[in-house]
Chain A
Amino acid sequence: MKNTLKGFALSALCVAIGGQALAQGTPQPGGEIVVTYQNDVATLDPAIGYDWQNWSMIKSLFDGLMDYEPGTTELKNDLAEHYEISEDGLTYTFTLRPGVTFHNGREMTAADVKYSLERTVNPQTQSPGAGFFSSIEGFDEVSSGEVTELSGISTPDERTVEITLRAPDATFLHVMALNFASVVPKEAVEAAGRDFGKQPVGTGAYMLDEWALGQRLTFVKNEEYFREGIPYIDKIDFEIGQEPNVALMRLQRGEVDIAGDGIPPAQFLQFRDDPEFENLMVVGDQLHTGYMTLNVNIPPLDDVKVRQAINMAINKERIVRVINGRATPANQPLPPAMPGYDESYEGYPYDVEQARALLEEAGYGDGFETELFVMNTDPQPRIAQAIQQDLAQIGIEADITSLAQANVIAAGGEQDQAPLIWSGGMAWIADFPDPSNFWGPILGCEGAVPGGWNWAWYCNEELDARADEANAMVDPDQQEERAELWGEIFTTAMDDAPWVPIFNEQRFTVHSARMGGDDALYVDPVHVPVNYDYIWVK
């Protein structure tokens, strides 16, 4: 049975440990809360921000044309009151909500939407998200720096935005919900220049009040927000540089309301079994898969039998145990929460005997030596060592090369440098809840280039063609069929075994007892990790 569209709304709902029912009660306005993070917030510029801390913060400071129902992966209209798609799927007409104002008081118009999208694509902005908008007409000209206006975007009047694409793109509405498509006011951007990231001005539910670099940021409620009554909370203090162990202990003492980095593994077991705290921990699925890439260019990994053997040699249950059960074993590239996930697909079983037999068949009965690359931040080297031991059991000696993240990424982007890479810490979390996001850059031919992220250097043109087909299915009626098609693409790719999908990490957020709101908001699959707009204080 394949997943349906509704399925992913349900699967994105979280299951609280301890059998707690969904949070009850009516939201109370008011309150001030403290949220902690370990790593610094790099920037709050929506065109640039792309890390764990700032992703959901930006979503609270800014809005885009589209967003998602809180706590789910279902698209909904945000700044766009409604939209129409032309027959040929090439033109999207968005009608903007009236009366939306920026934090600086000015009303938002269609010109702002056009400006924001062009800004993201403009090479001078150096936005990591520019590539997402490649389907808009005129992208190449702006991207190369020739012009600054996207010919595909027009604003017939103050409340209408018309976007024309080069080819039908089923993911376009998702792209409009990305942070990179957030609407920014031109005058504020020009006034702040390159420091806009430290002085953000948007239309969002919260405004930035103050920022002590490296220490603390404070958000305050936007009284003029276009949604009535949202947000509930008056003020959020984000404290930076807080070690997860410390943050958790402070939470238990009531000093912290949300531990943004979740529960460190050491405390996890303790916490989970403690009746006092079990209600405070929320589990959710992420659109994440942790995988090991097998470079199909480097012998003997160029032999599919060898790759299949490796797939069968990895004891995923044991690895999940090493990370304290905070994940579920995976057998395909897509995570369970993603539409297109094939529940009936069995993948490669854990079968050491068969693995050895396959290796014999391939002519490597005596095993061989190879290298396993991993990022040098704990727990990744540990996981790599667990994988190493599994490989040793079938005669494969994998030397571990533990490097800084940037160096592993660099090695992966070279055709013949990294035979095996454990992607942990750099692994793919979907940018938006659509399976195409899991294909192109990491399994498609377009990613198998120097500097690309397809570290397996897997290029299957036939599957790529099917992927393009799937992405052209824009019609809402075709979505179920499309999801099925995608599912097939991935499971067919597994026949070639370019990867060993190992686990899908779950997310655990901890909040204090006084925090209210649906559990799903604390493990929001899109407003990662927490949806600040809808939570409240009891």
Chain B
Amino acid sequence: MAWFIVKRIAYSLLILLGVTFITYLLLYMIPADPARQIAGRSATAEVVANIRHQLGLDLPFYEQYFRYLVNLVQGDFGRSYVQRSEVATLIEARLGPTLQLMVAGIGFELLIGVTLGIVAALKRNSVLDQLLMAFSFIGVSSPHFIAAMLALYFFAVQLEWFPLGGYGEVKHLMLPAITLGVLGSGWYSRMVRSSMIEVLHQDFIRTARAKGLKRLRVLLRHVLPNAIIPVIPMIGIDIGIFMSGLVVVEAVFGWPGLGQLAWQAIQQVDIPVIVGVTTLSAVAIILGNLVADLAVLFVDPRIDINKS
């Protein structure tokens, strides 16, 4: 078991290396010159050349990348070209809000998704079931930015139930988190529904019922725990999907998180920040997948770890 985890971690580090390499390479290929951006419009050619030299941008690619890696393993993500602060500080400041949004968002996804899935499974093939499934379909088919804009418009501007974006208290978190929750719940509700239906048909359930156990008890102690299993790896993958969509959601809601940071950095070709955020996102994704895989192994007795 421990060996398995070690292997996975080593493998993940390798993937991370690949991510940083490709990101750095892509950014190196961008035609824009960060030195010129920083030097601004009133700079002479010497000033620009100086800045380029200071930042080490006149070095060949592999040297620049190597320097970056050496610093990275020491925990130094470099300094933002634009803000001059350490990338680590910038990321740290914005990590909190993003984590908040992610946890709340996924929390709502699970809450809404699992509940709807259970109800749909219990009432399968009824009108309610069809409506719920339709609802979840619509949710996953909506681009986040449109749903976000419409949600802001209806619930914050027209109805004034929530504040208009911004950050600080729980009430600011509500609208973005619920919106994300509603949108993403579709995957979970469908999965829970089909999983439950499958479990409900299993022999041991029929046996339990035949033994005279109350319906609710069967549901809670036998059906649910088994039905939930497929949901767990999904959470891991969900983290990945979430990280991708951050840029847009944070932009619309004015949420001061990593997404906003990444977007501004891309506009300004602030390479250290872009690489830093991408690496961090990759870590989150890999971690999410790792935890999901491990959780499944623990929870599902049918899978033999040595065979995977």
Contacts and interface: CB of A to CB of B under 8 A. Distances in A.
Nearest to A406: B32
B93 interface: yes
Given A43-B83, A215-B256, A451-B33, A143 B43 contact: no
A214 B32 contact: no
B42 A241 contact: no
B36 A451 contact: yes
B50 A42 contact: no
Interface string A382-426: 000000000000000000000011110111010000000000000
Contacts of A48: 84
Contacts of A195: 84-86
Interface in B40-96: 40-48, 50-51, 54-55, 79, 82-86, 89-90, 93-94
Nearest to A128: B40
Interface in B14-31: 30-31
Contact of A405 (B84, B167, B267): B267
Nearest to B258: A214
A123 B47 contact: yes
A404 B164 contact: no
A197 B165 contact: no
B46 A144 contact: yes
A341 interface: no
B99 to A, nearest CB: 14
Interface in A190-226: 194-195, 197-198, 212-215
Given A214-B94, A406-B267, A131 B164 contact: no
Given A128-B42, A214-B261, A246-B165, A410 B90 contact: no
Listed residue (A39, A128, A441) with the most chain B CB atoms within 10 angstroms of its CB: A128
A128 B38 contact: yes
B40 A242 contact: no
Contacts of B43: 128, 130-131
Contacts of B39: 126, 128
Nearest to B36: A451
Contacts of A243: 165, 254
A457 interface: no
Contacts of B30: 406-407
A129 B165 contact: no
B82 A453 contact: no
B94 A404 contact: no
A241 B256 contact: yes
A161 to B, nearest CB: 23
A246 B166 contact: yes
A250 B254 CA distance: 13
A40 interface: yes
Contacts, number: 133
B37 interface: yes
Nearest to B81: A126
A404 B82 CA distance: 16
A40 B165 CA distance: 16
Contacts of A130: 43, 47
Interface residues of A, number: 51
A451 B45 contact: yes
A143 B47 contact: yes
A211 to B, nearest CB: 9
A406 B274 CA distance: 15
Interface residues of B, number: 48
Nearest to B251: A243
Nearest to A248: B164
B44 A123 contact: no
Nearest to A213: B93
Contact of B84 (A39, A43, A143, A240): A43
A409 B266 CA distance: 15
B36 A410 contact: yes
B179 interface: no
Contact of A198 (B54, B85, B260): B85
A131 B44 contact: yes
A199 to B, nearest CB: 10
A132 B42 contact: yes
Contacts of B42: 128-129, 131-132, 431, 441
Contact of B41 (A143, A144, A197, A453): A453
A284 to B, nearest CB: 23
Nearest to A143: B46
Contacts of B130: none
Contact of A242 (B36, B166, B267): B166
Contact of A215 (B36, B82, B167, B266): B167
Given A406-B269, A449-B45, A453-B41, A123 B31 contact: no
B268 interface: yes
A86 interface: no
Contacts of B164: 245-246, 249-250
A197 B85 contact: yes
Contact of B50 (A123, A134, A242): A123
B264 interface: yes
B241 interface: no
A410 B254 contact: no
Interface in A2-49: 39-40, 42-43, 45, 48
Interface in B126-160: 157
23 contacts: A42-B84, A123-B54, A128-B40, A128-B42, A144-B50, A145-B50, A194-B85, A213-B90, A214-B94, A214-B261, A241-B167, A241-B254, A241-B256, A241-B260, A242-B166, A377-B267, A406-B37, A406-B267, A409-B32, A409-B36, A409-B37, A441-B41, A451-B33
Interface of B: 30-34, 36-48, 50-51, 54-55, 79, 82-86, 89-90, 93-94, 97, 157, 164-167, 254-256, 260-261, 264, 266-269
Which 3 residue pairs are nearest across A and B when measured between Cβ atoms?
A128-B40, A213-B93, A406-B32
Given A197-B83, A213-B94, A449-B45, 20 more contacts: A40-B260, A45-B84, A126-B51, A128-B39, A128-B43, A129-B40, A195-B84, A197-B85, A212-B93, A213-B93, A215-B93, A243-B165, A249-B157, A250-B164, A404-B267, A406-B30, A406-B269, A407-B32, A409-B32, A451-B45
